[in-house]
Amino acid sequence: MSATDFEPLAEVLRRNGLAGKREHPFPNDGWSGASLTTLSRGSDRFVMKRDSLARDWIAQATADGPILREAWFAAHGPALPSPIRAPYLGVGIDGDEFGILMPDLTGVLFDWDTPISVEALDQVLAGLAMLHAYPWPISGELDGGPWCPLRERLTLICRASLERPGPAHDAVGDRILPGWDAFDRRVPAVVRDLIDSLGRDPLPLLDALGELPSTLIHGDLKLANVGIERDGTIDLVDWQMVTVAPVGVELGWFLVSNVASLPLQPGDVLTRYNVEARRQGHDEAGLGEWQAQVDAAILVGLLLRGWRKGADADAGVMLASGVSAVDDLAWWSDRALEAAGRIL
């Protein structure tokens, strides 16, 4: 696939009645380097996401390009099972950038830093389980996509990636490394060494994940990328790190990236997901041995965001679940050692 497989962005705008419409800056908390603007057509509002390999450090760090993964997924990705929706309206080329047009979901997407209700959490988990349980034809729709490489996803912002020269170091090293310092101070040395070792050589974790069944996962399921429409449709945006992997990878990031929003503790969230996954038909054949998925989620979660847990513990944060960040970090540390003993 090449850029010639995408139409000019001007044609996407024309087809959606937006030709010549003024674009306005759209403030957001994204940090990849992509820019967002808003456009209006009468009372309808739209968001334009402009991105390129040259400006997006996450794309660079995850072996993306020259066709950006999200642009490919928006234009050519597999159809998603209801009620999940990737709300893309069109993708086009504008110079060296891709433009991705979406409806403005302000008021639909969750606020990343605001606690959600247990009811809303259950809706999200049900939709997530449906996505994961869908019988994707591995030799069909999921075969050959430009999926995010698992090694690069898991080590994206680990200490080793932030310390060596590269896009992650340049973009967020100064911001995140102090959190890793806090993590290293606050966890037992054996936990510090475990996570540091996996960051420098993730092969043992990758081998363990390779023993588990895989499915299509969103790859960046923070709640700021999730919204529930009035009709029950679940919108998932920002498929930049979409990939095929065990559900433990999705669940690990979901747990650690949403601690400011999740009203329940990690073990409870995992249990509720598992109940829903079984109800959706994602049985042992689809999930593999559940404890192994849980163990994977714990190790993946700490590898991806142990830095934030260290920073929150230093700051004395009280999480949305009602547990202190100090106690939460202790829970994750204990579970990480147990998980490593079982699957590594």
Q: Model confidence over 130-161: pLDDT tens digits? A: 999 998 875 556 777 899 999 999 999 999 99
Supply the pLDDT for residue 79: 92
286 or 22, which is more confident: 22
Query: What is the rounded average pLDDT of the residues 19-39?
Result: 89
pLDDT band at residue 27 using 50, 70 and 90 as cut-offs: confident
How far is Cα 93 from Cα 8, in angstroms, rounded to an integer? 5
User: Model-level pTM?
Assistant: 0.96
Query: What is the rounded average pLDDT of the residues 287-316?
Result: 96
Query: What is the rounded average pLDDT of the residues 291-304?
Result: 97
How far is Cα 152 from Cα 61, in angstroms, rounded to an integer? 7
pLDDT digit string, tens, across residues 72-117: 999 999 999 999 999 999 999 999 999 999 999 999 999 988 999 9
pLDDT digit string, tens, across residues 235-282: 999 999 999 999 999 999 999 999 999 999 999 999 999 999 988 877
**CB atoms near residue 339 (< 10 Å):** 26
Query: What is the rounded average pLDDT of the residues 288-305?
Result: 95
How far is Cα 79 from Cα 142, in angstroms, rounded to an integer? 11
Supply the pLDDT for residue 4: 73
pLDDT higher than 90, residue 307: yes
pLDDT higher than 90, residue 200: yes
Supply the pLDDT for residue 284: 59
Supply the pLDDT for residue 145: 85
Lowest mean pLDDT among 143-147, 169-173, 296-300, 339-343: 143-147
Calculate the average pLDDT of the chain. Answer: 94
Residue whose token pair is 């700051």:
315
| Nearest CA-CA partner of 100 in 118, 76, 124, 82 | 76
Supply the pLDDT for residue 32: 87
pLDDT higher than 60, residue 329: yes
Query: What is the rounded average pLDDT of the residues 324-336?
Result: 98
